[in-house]
Amino acid sequence: MNELSKKTFLIFYRHSKPYAKTIAVVVLGLIAGVAFDTYQPFLFRTLFNQLAAGNRGAVAQMLDVVWKIFLIGGLSWVSWRTSQFALNFYEARVMSNLLNTCFVYLQQHSYSFFSDNFAGSLVRKINRYSRTFEDLADITFQNLSQTILQIGIIIAVLFLYYRALGGIVLAWSVAYIYFNYRFAKWKIKYDVARAAMDTKVTGQMADTVTNNINLKLFNGLTRETADYQRLTGELFRLRYLGWNLGQISETIQGALVVFLEFAVMYSAVLLWQRGRLTVGDFALLQAYLVQIFTLLWNFGRFVRRIYESVADANEMTEILLTPHEVQDRPGATELIAGKSGIEFRNVIFAYGDNEPVFKNFNLQLGAGERVALIGPSGGGKTTIVKLLLRFVDIQGGEILVSGQNIAAVTQDSLRANIALVPQEPILFHRNLMENIRYGRPGASDDQVIAAAKAAHAHEFISRFPQSYGTFVGERGIKLSGGERQRVAIARAILKNAPILVLDEATSSLDSESEHLIQDALKNLMRDKTVIVIAHRLSTIMQMDRIVVLENGKITEQGKHEELLKMEQGTYQRLWEIQAGGFAGA
């Protein structure tokens, strides 16, 4: 078992510790049930010996044995049912806790983590994780523990009463278990490969479903189908191979079972010939052999399922063991925004091993100042927003909000003081009331509606049959781009944070809607420190300051009129291109 698998078991163990009393009930019920089931054949041995004696006057004694068989059977039934009900509670509770653990830890991963992973694959890994625990708990308590305990008792009894037969069964059991263990351990590499391919297939499906519109726009169905069939073909090969290996294992097990039954019965007949076994002993031996065959026949399958399940779980364990890229420092304090000035001081930042986006970058915004960031794509505008929100961490320098280093405050308190309206708003598949209220969870319906009116979203919302109860679809797909934008603006208005970031906030609006939104944005920006990113220069003319970013450096800054006067300046050139384009049109 590799280190990752060991850590998977360790995580499951930690989640199980709080339920030690429940586990004790499961184990005690299991031990009692096995003990009663193992004792029952002795009663049948006595009954068959009485029947073989042919003494019809001993009916009362026989019926007494029958009553004992009934009593032991009842006690066995109670024991197993008690154990099973306790196991049901234990499994369901721990599975729920595992899902919660995975949810919280996953959501705390950084922006870049989610950029690098398919959403569908992550969801599948989480679901498989809890199901893996269920499989392992079932196998451990219902199968392996019962098998080991019951076979141990049976072999001990056989050694006590029939030493030679006990030796045969013991040697056979050791060989059988060793073969299954070695085979399952050898097969694990194929199970890991199958689990990884299953994740790839899920990720490919999720990616194409999310981008279904692209398949239609670019006639990509044929290409995507070919890629998907290639992946499912490889998944078929790995599944088919794994299942065939399982069948090979069961074929060998079947041969071992036939051999054991022959060896035991052959030896038993010889012992009977010598007068050392009775008819009742044959009934006892047959009952024990049936129990052993039933238990051990599935033993190999249980061991293989353990390895297969752990292979499924290891992918999620790896995520749980991956440190969060962006973390609060020990002792991080709450951000006290107050007059929320912002300063980027000697900031150094690069994505991974790529060339730095910023080298000793400096930018200062006064409290209540409205600053627009413009420039060619790739200049660092959006990166500034990510750094301010701590979606990623800088490698050098400081970012200050109200004089406080954002690396020394909690992420939650930082983001509570910033309202972001992104270029492509993503909405929950919930109703409009819930989506807008997400900006301030405790807001009343009237406050939500007031924010929607300020964002000019109330007009289109009120036209829906369910009004604010309308569900917007996954990622807000049922709304137009402009409608999603206005919902996002309403959410920011409701949040009413001291810092406002508008990342192309009006890019999806038509001219009429943009005109309406501009009024809402003016009200929204009042008394706030504002960062506006826009390519449409007409939306930033009224900003207090315009900053031109090129290749991670500030090349120009000033008011609209001042920048237009800079000969051969970037802002002047961009303005002439846009103004000329509109005039030419």
Overall size of the chain counted in residues: 585
Per-residue confidence in pLDDT tens, the chain, 585 aa: 578 888 888 888 899 999 999 999 999 998 898 888 887 777 777 777 667 666 666 777 778 888 888 898 899 899 989 988 999 999 899 888 888 888 888 888 877 777 676 676 777 788 888 888 888 888 888 877 888 887 888 788 777 777 777 788 788 878 877 887 777 777 777 877 887 788 788 778 877 876 776 676 667 778 888 888 888 888 898 888 888 887 787 777 777 777 777 777 777 777 777 777 777 777 777 777 777 777 777 776 777 778 778 877 887 888 888 787 788 888 888 988 777 789 999 999 988 778 888 888 999 998 888 898 988 877 888 889 889 988 888 889 999 998 889 989 998 888 888 888 887 787 888 888 988 888 888 889 899 898 888 888 888 898 988 898 888 887 777 887 778 888 888 888 888 888 888 887 666 566 666 676 777 677 778 788 999 887 766 667 778 898 988 888 888 888 888 888 887 788 888 777 766 544 333
pLDDT at 217: 63
d(CA 496, CA 42): 79
Over residues 317-354, the pLDDT tens digits come to 888 887 877 888 888 889 887 777 899 999 999 887 78
pLDDT at 25: 93
- Enter the tokens of residue 585: 């049109």
Task: State pTM to two decimals.
Answer: 0.66
Q: What is the 3-state secondary structure (H, E, C) of 291-348?
A: HHHHHHHCHHHHHHHHHHHHHHHHHHHHHHHCCCCCCCCCCCECCCCCCCCEEEEEEE
Mind listing the domains of the chain with CATH numbers? 3-321 (1.20.1560.10), 334-417+529-585 (3.40.50.300)
d(CA 286, CA 276): 16
Among 383, 481, 506, 387, smallest CA distance to 426 is for 481
- Enter the tokens of residue 16: 């199980």
At 401, give phi and psi (nearest 5°): -125, 120
- Enter the tokens of residue 519: 């009024």
Among 35, 34, 33, smallest CA distance to 80 is for 33
Residue keyed to tokens 């962006």: 326
Give one DSSP letter per residue of 112-172, joined into a string.
HHHHSS-HHHHHHHHHHHHHHHHHHHHIIIIIIHHHHHHHHHHHHHHHHH-HHHHHHHHHH
Q: Which residues contact 438 (CB under 8 A, 6 or more apart)?
A: 428, 491
d(CA 27, CA 56): 43
d(CA 517, CA 456): 7
**Quick check: 151 and 292 in contact, CB under 8 A?**
yes
**Quick check: 185 and 305 in contact, CB under 8 A?**
no
pLDDT at 82: 92
**Quick check: 74 and 36 in contact, CB under 8 A?**
no
Residue keyed to tokens 């506006």: 532
506: how many CB neighbours lie within 10 A of its CB?
24
Give one DSSP letter per residue of 3-70, joined into a string.
HHHHHHHHHHHHHHGGGHHHHHHHHHHHHHHHHHHHHHHHHHHHHHHHHHHT-GGGHHHHHHHHHHHH
- Enter the tokens of residue 554: 């500030």
DSSP 355: P
Among 575, 500, 557, smallest CA distance to 342 is for 500
Segment holding 388, helix H or strand E: helix 381-388
Segment holding 548, helix H or strand E: strand 545-550
At 579, give phi and psi (nearest 5°): -65, -40
